Amino acid sequence: MANYDELKKKAKDAIGSFADASVDAYKVAEEKTKVLAKKTKLRAGIVNDKATIRRLSVELGTKYYKQYKDDENSEFRQLCEEITSAHERIAEKENEIAELKANASAKACNKAPCDSDNNSNDDEGNAEG
């Protein structure tokens, strides 16, 4: 029976060591999870703050543009002129797109019966917004 008692004691010790190792591993995993969750929360906060900065910068820029676009003596005049030019180029391109759509629609109507109320050749999925 001595061997059985020794074997029983060794098994208890092994199980105890395994249980201790499991508890230690659990604590390490729990701590790593807490740190990871904290880092994720902080990174999400950074992303939100950067989005806020971008939104406010655009708002600030829009206000400056509106305030200084017609001021001949403004230090922002050059930037305002560039923005105005970009707006004009966008408008020209949007007009060109509208003309292309109209021409495509007219060509389609010449080839087949055309119902102008139901004919939509908007190949951008109405991307004009």
pLDDT of residue 64: 86
Question: For the residues 1-15, what does the mean pLDDT come to?
Answer: 74
CB 74 within 8 A of CB 80: yes
Question: Strand, coil or helix: what is 55?
Answer: helix
Query: Could you read off the pLDDT of 42-89 as tens digits, one per residue?
Result: 999 999 999 999 999 999 999 988 888 888 887 888 888 898 999 999
From residue 128, give the alpha-carbon distance in Å to each of 8, 58, 90, 94, 121.
79, 21, 11, 8, 13
- In angstroms, rounded to a whole number, what is the distance separating the alpha carbons of residues 129 and 115? 24
- Out of 23-32, 56-65, 71-80, 103-112, the most confident range is 56-65
CB 74 within 8 A of CB 85: no
Q: What is the DSSP letter of 74?
A: -
